[in-house]
Structure 1
Amino acid sequence: MGKPNFSEDFKRDAVHQIAVRGYAVREVSERLGVSTYSLYKWMKLYAKAASQASSVDHEAENRRLKRELARMTEGRDILKKAAAYFAKDAR
């Protein structure tokens, strides 16, 4: 039986689980059926690229969340004004 030939995408995804998502090397090793030696070797090759991609993902997510927060804050302010208007009208 020869040794398995894993694709570059598989290796990057495995490293991503460790470097970005924070899973333990042993856990990823057991789940994927890859030796810890291979994972550490792949981390040397791909960890820097994975963390850079992660920072780009985080920046995009931060921008999206800021837009959503602004929209929700605006909606809340409109509801406050409406409630104050109707409370004043009810007196």
Structure 2
Amino acid sequence: MDDQSKRKRPTYSEEFKRDAVRLVVEEGYSIKAASQAVGVCEASLRGWHAKLVPPPEPCGEEATVAELRDELKRVRRQLKRAELEREILKKATAYFAKEST
């Protein structure tokens, strides 16, 4: 057995995860800077952030131009991701339909 198979992935408490995410949300750290500060990989912190931070509420009637721009950017990213996921599903469906015939 080699050294890599003996290693276990570290586990982190929910409190640790919340504190790491708080650096990004409340303290203004970038994901990269926060992950370096707490000693975890960026992918882990991104996952915790996605699970622990609720999506922002839509802008209301009294929103500023800056708030509307931010919301537009967020919605465009969501749309792009949804379109990509849809394309992947269409290709997978076609692949499996071809395989079953």
Kindly provide the amino acid, as one letter, of the partner of residue 18 in structure 1: V
Task: Report the equivalent of 2:60.
Answer: none
State how many pairs are aligned. Answer: 50
8 Å Cα contact 1:25-1:36 kept in structure 2: yes
User: Cα distance, 1:30 vs. partner?
Assistant: 1.0
Task: Report the equivalent of 1:16.
Answer: 22
2:34 is aligned with 1:31: no
Counterparts of 2:26 and 2:37, CA distance in 1: 17
What TM-score, normalized by structure 2, do the two folds share?
Answer: 0.46
Unaligned runs of 5+ in 1: 52-91
Superposition RMSD in Å: 1.8
User: Cα distance, 1:48 vs. partner?
Assistant: 2.3
Q: Pick 1 or 2: higher relative contact order, CA cutoff 8 A, min separation 6.
A: 1
Task: Report the equivalent of 2:51.
Answer: 45
Task: Report the equivalent of 2:11.
Answer: 5
Counterparts of 2:48 and 2:21, CA distance in 1: 7
Counterparts of 2:22 and 2:41, CA distance in 1: 16
Counterparts of 1:21 and 1:47, CA distance in 2: 14
User: Cα distance, 1:41 vs. partner?
Assistant: 0.3
Stretches of 4+ moved more than 2 A in 1?
A: none
Unaligned runs of 5+ in 2: 1-6, 57-101
Larger-gyration structure (1/2): 1
Counterparts of 1:13 and 1:21, CA distance in 2: 10
